Structure 1
Amino acid sequence: MTYIKPTAPLLPTFARRAGAVLLAGLLSAAAVAQDGPQKLAPVPLRAGFHAIQAEVARTPEQRAVGLMHRKEMGANEGMLFVFERPAEQCFWMKNTLIPLSIAFLNEDGSVVNIADMKPQSLDSHCSEKPVRFALEMNQGWFAKRGIKPGFRIEGAPFPSR
């Protein structure tokens, strides 16, 4: 699940907090309305010679639900979160039942940073700089393949070299 940090520093603190509370309530309502895991259309990606089938979460509602309520995920399956414009992106694992690793990706698919996330936790995991994409895979997937910051994920969402 993702949350959006207020980006307008000129807003009074109260207005920012009220907006954050309203957004959290809307996201919680969307999560409550979700009966089970969502299934989104996948896109093929590549990490070197490793094939990935990533479901694509493009809308705010799809991104809010993410991989919640999943009991398992295939070894090379994941979810690609696509945002309209680069921004600091933060994720937590409320209602997510499986441990995940998340790679925050630049516009060209290059990895900015990777974080491991514990199931059913509200701990926040954020990109180290503004990004347009985040890719969630089973925990340890990136480490087992030697994927680190600077490595480039390839596929249709990212421009060709």
Structure 2
Amino acid sequence: MSRSGGLRGYGLGLIALAVALSTTGYFWAGQILNRPPQRTPPVPNAVVSISSPKGTVELPVYRLSNPRVLDLFTRKAHQGLLYSFLEPRDQAWTGMGLEKPVSVAFLDSRGTILAILDIEPCPAPPQGKGCRSYVPGVVYRQVLEVGQGWFARYQIKPGAAVRVRPLEAAPNTQ
């Protein structure tokens, strides 16, 4: 074989290697760009304190000043959610998007618990139906949503006062 034939084969091999590497690069770039975004659970940004027969109970919560921005991911990953509404409301509550049952306290504008309901999860509405609605029977301004049984465990009942403070101002609650 002549010297130019060897160089030619070497050159073709380099071209083939370059094509293989670039094709692999395009493949992996497509995989990375097309995968769903990695979402991290929200970090609690407030602490609620509630006086109970068992003493003062504190719970880190994710506080939402505009509940419409809540997506289902946030609702699935929470420790506790505190919804605040600009206007008084009396609408029913639902377990839409929940994977686990929750207990929900309906509060007035001062933070007094008016009613507590246990809500069953409804990850996806059944075909042709909606999720069950739970009517609190009170006019409320805030809603505190926690794992089911949390209020009962600490013997918290309607009439208890809920105080909220930013997480930065809270002592270590770990």
- Same fold by TM (over 0.5)? yes
Superposition deviation, residue 125 in structure 1: 1.7
TM-score by length of 2: 0.59
Give the CA deviation at 1:37.
Answer: 7.5
SS in 2 for 1:68: helix
Q: CA deviation at 1:108?
A: 1.0
> What's 1:111 paired with?
113
Which structure 2 residue ranges, 5 or more long, are not aligned? 1-36, 126-130, 167-174
Q: Is the 8 A contact 1:38 1:65 kept in 2?
A: no
Listed as ranges, the matches of 1:37-116 within 5 Å are 39=42, 41-48=44-51, 49-63=56-70, 65=72, 67-70=74-77, 73=78, 77-116=79-118
- Superposed displacement of residue 64, structure 1: 5.9
Measured against aligned partners, the alpha-carbon deviations of 1:14-73 in whole angstroms (never above 9, x if no partner) come to xxxxxxxxxxxxxxxxxxxx9867626521110121111110122242346485333xx5
| Ranges in structure 1 where 5+ consecutive residues have no aligned partner | 1-33
Q: 2:142 aligns with which of 129, 133, 138?
A: 133
Are the structure 2 counterparts of residues 40 and 132 from structure 1 closer, same or farther at C-alpha, using a change threshold of 3 Å? Answer: farther
Cα–Cα, structure 1 residues 47 and 123, in superposed 2: closer, same or farther, change >3 Å? same
Distance (Å, rounded) in 2 between the aligned partners of 1:37 and 1:111: 31
- Seq. identity, %: 24
Paired amino acid for 2:59: I
Q: TM-score, normalised by structure 1?
A: 0.64
- Aligned residue identity for 1:80: L
SS of 1:69's partner is helix
Higher helix share: 2
Per-residue Cα deviation, 1:119-148 (whole angstroms, up to 9, x for no partner): 116111233221110000110000111111
Distance of aligned partners of 1:154 and 1:148 in 2 relative to their CA distance in 1, 3 Å threshold: same
In the alignment, which residue of structure 1 is the partner of 2:23? none
How well do the aligned residues superpose, as a CA RMSD in angstroms? 2.6
